Amino acid sequence: MKRITLLALAALAAPVALAQPYYPRDYPLARDELARCMSRDEALTARQLELDTEKRLNDREGDSIARAGATLAEELRRVDPADAVAVAAHNARAAEHNRRVEAHNLRVYDMNVAARRQNNDQADMQVSCGARTFYPQDRDSILYERARLR
């Protein structure tokens, strides 16, 4: 009885042990696949440069907003609460500052969404293109054709 149970368990486990996933990276990229991968890589690189520029601009704006907020806080300490005109003027500046912060936060949110999309696209490209080999002569031919078309 024990022998039958062991054989049955071995028979059930065998397909799991033998089943191996098929990965297309086991063979080199065809020339048209390589051309698509090269185009994707160029597009991703351009998008990354745009994101890096946008991040620098957002960081500068964030620093400027922080300085403006510190200035507003310092002004508030000097405002006489009994002076209704001064209080109203400060409140107007604070409201404008808050609108600036809101607009900045929306730009940062949009940039973060674009960065997540970029990271996902780069990961997808790494799986579909980066982990596979190619023939150098195919790459050279593609580069030659692109240069000729420009």
52: tokens are 């890096």
The DSSP symbol for 129 reads I
Kindly report the pTM of this predicted structure: 0.72
Report how far apart, in Å, the C-alpha atoms of 19 and of each of 6, 13, 16, 50 are.
20, 10, 5, 44
Tens-binned pLDDT, residue by residue, of the chain (150 aa): 444 444 444 444 445 445 555 555 568 999 999 999 999 999 999 999 999 999 999 999 999 999 999 999 999 999 999 999 999 999 999 999 999 999 999 999 999 999 999 999 999 999 999 888 999 999 999 999 999 987
User: Domain extents for the chain?
Assistant: 50-133
